[in-house]
Amino acid sequence: MSATVKRNGMVKGIIGYKVLDYKDLEPVLMHLRSHAMQYKGFVTAENLVSEEDFSIVMMISTWETMENWRTWVESKATLELLERARTAVTGTPRITAYRAMSTVSNTETPIMRWSLLPQSRELVLQK
């Protein structure tokens, strides 16, 4: 028996950068976050820098729906902010989205676990 994952659950939007110095990107990330807060469906955002490679920085934002994420990431203001980041980055930003997905263990009492599912793929669950 198989079931298709339903398209419900929060969306994680990720914008990743390779930078010369992550401190140079901080003002742009702060503007991206404050801009995102004005959009419908925005939940939260955080900025991360890799512990293994300080040149890898990302902003992860959480949205109620994929439509909310797309509206923000494709907006003129967001694209202008991404363009402003060019002076601090090496290459183009990697932009992607993932959907949070719940799974239930095989115990008698269901335990909720969350994992990330790439938005561009459909996962088929099998028993």
pLDDT at 9: 77
Closest CA to 13 of 57, 58, 55, 52: 58
CATH number, position 35: 3.30.70.100
Amino acid letter, 49: V
The boundaries of the domain holding residue 112 are: 10-120
Question: Is 101 within a domain?
Answer: yes
Per-residue pLDDT of 80-120, as tens digits, reads 999 888 888 888 889 999 987 777 654 444 444 444 444 43
4 within some domain: no
Q: Residue 48: inside a domain, yes or no?
A: yes
Q: Is 125 within a domain?
A: no
Q: Is residue 3 part of a domain?
A: no
How far, CA to CA in Å, does 19 sit from each of 42, 91, 92, 102? 26, 8, 10, 34
Task: Kindly indicate the confidence band of residue 7, based on its pLDDT and cuts at 50, 70 and 90.
Answer: low
Segment among 38-42, 67-71, 123-127 with least mean pLDDT: 123-127
Residue 5 lies in a domain: no
The total of structural domains in the chain comes to 1
The answer to whether residue 56 sits within a structural domain is yes
Quote the CA–CA distance of 30 and 61 in Å, as a whole number. Answer: 12
